[in-house]
Amino acid sequence: MLMSPPKFLEGFAFGERLPVIMFNLRAVDLPVERRGLLAHHFIGALTGKKGPSPIEFAGADGDFIEFFLGLVDHVQSLSNIPLLSRAKAVRRKGDVAECIVPTLLRSLAPLGRIIELLVQYIALPRGDPRRAALAKAGKQAFRQLNEGGLLQTNPARLLRAAMDENIPFLEISNTLTQYGIGKRSVLMDSTCTDRTSAIGAVLAKNKFSGGKVLRRMGLPVAPGREVANEQDALNVAGQLGYPVVVKPNDRDGGLGVAADLRTPEEVSAAYAIARKISPNVLVERFVPGRDYRLVVFHGRLVWAVEREPGGVTGDGTSTIAQLVEIANRDPNRGSGPLQPMKLLTLDDEARHLLARAGLDETSVLPANRFVRIRRAANVATGGRPVAVFDKVHPDNAALAIQAADAFRLDLAGIDLLLPDIAVSWQESGGAICEVNAQPQLGGVTSGHLYPQILKELVGGTGRVPVLAVMGTAQAKRLSASLAGIFSRGGTVGRHGPDGVWLGENRMLKGRVAILEAGRFLASQRSLDAMVLGIWDGAALRTGLPLPRIDILALSGEAIPLPKKMAGKSHAGFIARIFELIAPNCERIVLTTARENCAPELLDALEMAGCRYDVMDEAALAKALLSEPAPC
């Protein structure tokens, strides 16, 4: 079935905006009735979970190639890697298909390994003992896929927004991503940007120190103190007066937070939990009110939600245990890191809160009565967000903006405890609970924030003009000429056989591969435009360094056939390059008359089915100067 081991393109090809795994797959006769059971057993082997059989996914009812690619997509969707683009066959000839699987850079190796194992798994008959060894290897590869995945919803939703808005992005590490190119680029670690104040981030991590800053600004903050041990916590609680809140001083997401503690016994138990999470524990006076998260971006309020605590609402007939089960059927709830809401559980904390209300899990709640089973209202602990942006009183919006400004944060999540978001805090009372420098934006009600914030950060699509020049000696001159044209509007990066240049400075010497050159130039904050050179077949091994090239300019020369391909078709070699990169080029321009072109180049264009314009250098220069830059 698998004609050769999967190959990885770390750059971009076939019109995709993600790296791809490439392989040739031969179709085999696999009856439809066997497919569901095979997928069920293979998924169970990878995940260790025997789910319901048969497993359904896109392509399951198609031909073998569609089934295989659909199953690979399904595997990726079960991991911590977001499925941003589907696997597909880019070419078919008889029963053989050339297939690609777009994925994140970090996923190439483990997902490629899973593809190899799936082919072997299908080839073995049911009950073959060799399947056990494949299952073990698959489980390890799936674990590696998960470990390299995204452990928060923010990065996954930012990547999806970038895909939807045609914003280029380059992966730097598992947590750090560059969105946009050159002068339009921004580095982001979740919702932390390269413009986020380092001091503000430190203050947000230390709730006690952050509270001091807010108080100095005259903003309302609950009184509290760091405590050294359990007895100290009890003493501070007594001094502040019950009820109180106990929480780690340096953790986010509601981790270890216990609110509305009314007895010394509850404080002792909460301290023990918080102390396991962090050695730095804070005791604060409890501020009654509803829990609101206000998102401030570039000095203005852009969204607000009320965070209802994890709990259930009665229907008059169901027990609390049954209501929890019903609530967990919501597709937005789940245990994975990419789920926008978490599952509800009836644990010790839930049972304690129920007992305080005179209830237990067998109690039947009257219709419309709500009972909470979590002290903290965070979505990460089972809470539910409800949009209230249109209800925010101007004074409360101003309070959130002042808090973000006090920490010098460009993007912040401000948690307010207020009786009613529609009533001014100056009238109703209330307090700032926390300031978050890397806020979880959510997704149930706030999915629109990701493209909104991203587009503002990168100034539209985050693109700058990018040209690629293909050829040899004439191409070198053409590349320098085009770079000179663009330099009239700013700093141009140029990649040629003599190195990589940024403006008048040569930054990298010698013959630099196109992937390395493009990545280097894309990271330069002074870059206004880029001219890349295609002098050899390096793009066949890596793809392009950027997902979109505005113009691929052909000098009319045929790039040389590699020595290891001596005797092979020269035109076929060039055509293969076009097949990979042409779909990522918005326009192809031949800069010399056809009669002056190398025959191999013209044959390659025809073989690859490429459409192109013929335009001399002067006309191309005029077009470049007249066309607006991508934005």
State whether residue 174 is helix, strand or coil.
coil
Yes or no: say if 341 and 325 are a contact pair by the CB < 8 Å rule.
Answer: no
* 141, 72 contact by CB (below 8 A): no
pLDDT score at 279: 94
CA 613-616-620 angle, to 5 degrees, is: 75
pLDDT recorded at residue 344: 86
Strands (E) in 29-95, as ranges, are: 88-93
pLDDT mean for each 10 residues of the chain (631 residues) = 86 97 93 84 86 72 92 92 95 94 96 95 87 92 90 89 96 92 96 95 93 95 94 96 94 84 94 94 94 96 92 90 88 73 85 88 90 76 86 98 97 96 96 94 87 96 95 92 84 93 94 96 96 95 96 95 91 97 96 94 96 90 71 51
Q: What angle do CA 476, 479, 485 make, to 5 degrees?
A: 145
Say how many CA atoms lie within 13 Å of 489 toward its Cβ. 16
Task: Enumerate residues 6+ apart whose C-beta is below 8 A from 377.
Answer: 254, 291, 307, 308, 309, 310, 383
**372 close to 313: Cβ distance less than 8 angstroms:** no
The CA distance from 469 to 480, in Å, is 10
The closest alpha carbon to 621, from 522, 488, 437, 528, belongs to 488
Q: What is the pLDDT of residue 630?
A: 61
- DSSP H helix total and E strand total for the chain: 20, 29
Main-chain phi, psi angles of 141, to 5 degrees: -65, -40
What is the model's pLDDT at position 352?
A: 85
- 71 bridge partner residues: none
Contacts of residue 136, defined as CB under 8 A and 6 or more positions apart, other chains included, come to none
Residue whose pair of structure tokens reads 């990298």 in the numeric block: 508
How far apart CA 452 and CA 114 sit, in angstroms, is 36
Give the whole-angstrom CA distance, residue 152 versus residue 438.
Answer: 11
Instruction: Decide if 179 contacts 462 (C-beta within 8 A).
Output: yes
Distances (CA, A) of 1 to 71, 156, 372, 480: 15, 33, 55, 47
Q: Which residues pair with 436 in a beta bridge?
A: 413
Domains (range + CATH), the chain: 7-147 (no CATH), 223-285 (3.30.1490.20), 290-453 (3.30.470.20), 466-626 (3.40.1190.10)
CB contact burial 394-405 (16+ within 10 A = b; e otherwise): eebbebbbbbbe
Contacts of 419 (CB under 8 A, 6+ apart): 288, 289, 290, 428, 429, 430
